[in-house]
Amino acid sequence: MVMEQTTDEMNYPTHGMNIDVGRAALTLTKALDYVGIDDKSHGRRVGLICHRLAHHLGWEKSRRHFILIAGMLHDCGVSSTTVHKKLADEMEWNGAEEHCIRGDQFLQSFPPFSLFATAIRYHHTRWQDLPETLDKETREYANLIFFADRLDVTYASFTLNHPYHEVLLNREKIFRELAPYVGQLFSGKINRAAAHAIQKDSFWLELRDEYLDDAIMEALSSEDYEISLSFDEIESLGELISQVVDAKSPYTHYHSLRVADLSYTLSGLAGLPPYQRRLLRLSGLLHDVGKLRTPDEILEKPGALNEHEIAQMRSHPLDSKTVLKALFPNTLIAKWASEHHEKLDGSGYPYGWKGEQIDLPTRILSIADIFQALCQKRPYRHRLLIDEVLEIMDEMVAEGKIDDSVYTLLKVNKEELYTIAIRT
């Protein structure tokens, strides 16, 4: 559990929450692993490999804990399935640095993760090219992540084409794939530690999905790192994740942030209490986190989606729910996010709720999402003018799909809300 609340706190207190940084990193990494589509465990495996190699490097517990979290977060700058494939297909890709820089920037925006930012910034830099201005520990962190990342890519390629038990029979072969790059890409010291680590069957077996999370949780529990965050800091975590999601496509840039701002403003107009409004804003920030699993070509398709592409898209609310229930348990954030595509007439998804089954915050979030999407430029059309947006939404009200009372608030305040929706 990452965050805890009492029953009273669920009635909208004015203070923040407790968060365990390691478990928050694990949850965020699971969301980031959606980008791999078929391989949904890369970030977690890299974190665990880093932790195991750190043991063989003789690092003390605090450094092992640090590199586990840094390793899990290493790809926070990757939102694109196309970029993920490039990184998985090539030992060195000359476009790799861009996601390192972006990851650095994302992590700097959330103070509890900022201490991992520099190692992430240089995790695709050759050992021989790491800046002399970096301290010794940061150089080691960055290069260990690079080594673990490339070892995992080699491992994943092997398991894609062979029965899993053959990993144990081919461990030396997998490991030797990195040998030509030692001394240039990778530190000889790290390579020597890996040569010992890979001899343990557990090193390879714990990378399997059925063992992976248990191994990580055991490592995380060895050093608790729970801190108390204000709600402002919790929102900064939400904004970090929303930046990762919105960076997936130029056509979704700022979408989550603007849906959050619209939801917050509309909920104020609807008379919701302050803390509930802030929770709803968080849900708006994170409502589309499940879209990290959606292939880039679907999000950026210039024409109408076919039935297979629509079917792929329709899973994202439940993908979002999985992440948000782990990150914000005992709140309604995951519920609201997972239901933002429901319609009052029962035509929505994934649950097909109708009428009173859909609560007021969800109705607000749904209208904010529709409104912002119509106001935003998309691959198949230009940004719509406010009257064009309202014409489409008028029809949705007439068909009984969206809440008339919330929509009336939007229409009365259309200029203010349109300005929020198109803000960059």
Per residue in 7-66, pLDDT (tens digit) is 334 444 445 667 778 888 888 888 777 765 556 789 999 999 999 999 999 999 999 999
User: Could you tell me if residue 166 is inside a domain?
Assistant: yes
Confidence (pLDDT) at 9? 40
Q: How many domains does the chain have?
A: 2
Name the least confident of 87-91, 133-137, 374-378. Answer: 87-91
Q: Is the pLDDT of residue 211 over 90?
A: yes
The tens digit of pLDDT for each residue in 381-420 reads 788 999 999 999 999 999 999 999 999 999 999 999 999 9
Confidence (pLDDT) at 14? 45
Mark whether 203 and 249 lie in a shared domain: no
Residue 225's pLDDT band (cuts 50, 70, 90): low
Residue 5's pLDDT band (cuts 50, 70, 90): very low
User: Could you tell me if residue 302 is inside a domain?
Assistant: yes
User: For the chain, what is the mean pLDDT?
Assistant: 89
Confidence (pLDDT) at 13? 43
Examine the fold and report which residue of 226, 258, 280 is the final residue of a domain before the chain moves on. 226
Mark whether 46 and 29 lie in a shared domain: yes
Strand partners, 18: 4, 228
* DSSP string covering 248-271: T-TTSTTHHHHHHHHHHHHHHHTT
Q: Is the pLDDT of residue 154 over 80?
A: yes
Does residue 291 have an active-site annotation?
yes
User: Could you tell me if residue 4 is inside a domain?
Assistant: no
Mark whether 208 and 249 lie in a shared domain: no
Examine the fold and report which residue of 198, 226, 254 is the final residue of a domain before the chain moves on. 226
d(CA 265, CA 161): 52
Q: Is the pLDDT of residue 224 over 70?
A: no
Peptide bond just before 350 cis, omega within 30 deg: yes
Strand partners, 20: 226
User: Could you tell me if residue 293 is inside a domain?
Assistant: yes
Mark whether 251 and 158 lie in a shared domain: no
User: Could you tell me if residue 1 is inside a domain?
Assistant: no
d(CA 62, CA 249): 37
* From 30, 291, 321, 343, the catalytic residue: 291
Q: What is the domain-level CATH number for residue 250?
A: 1.10.3210.10
Torsion over CA: 53, 59, 65, 66 (sign): negative
Structure tokens, 413: 């305040």
Residue 254 belongs to domain spanning:
230-422
Mark whether 342 and 411 lie in a shared domain: yes
DSSP 78: -
Structure tokens, 398: 């007439």
Instruction: Report residue 359: phi and psi, to 5°.
Output: -80, 170
Count of CA atoms in the C-beta half-sphere (13 A) of 322? 17
Q: What is the domain-level CATH number for residue 204?
A: 1.10.3210
The tens digit of pLDDT for each residue in 293-347 reads 888 788 878 888 899 999 988 999 999 998 898 888 888 999 999 999 999 999 9
Mark whether 294 and 383 lie in a shared domain: yes
pTM equals 0.82
Contact predicate 37/80, CB 8 Å: no
Examine the fold and report which residue of 203, 226, 249 is the final residue of a domain before the chain moves on. 226
Mark whether 136 and 112 lie in a shared domain: yes
Mark whether 196 and 259 lie in a shared domain: no
Mark whether 59 and 101 lie in a shared domain: yes
The tens digit of pLDDT for each residue in 270-284 reads 999 999 999 999 999
Instruction: Report residue 184: phi and psi, to 5°.
Output: -110, -70
Mark whether 282 and 331 lie in a shared domain: yes
Contact predicate 215/46, CB 8 Å: no
DSSP 384: P
Structure tokens, 279: 């929770």
Mark whether 50 and 84 lie in a shared domain: yes
Mark whether 166 and 183 lie in a shared domain: yes
**CA geometry: angle at 96 spanning 93 and 97, to 5°?**
135
Count other Cβ atoms within 10 Å, centred on residue 352.
Answer: 12
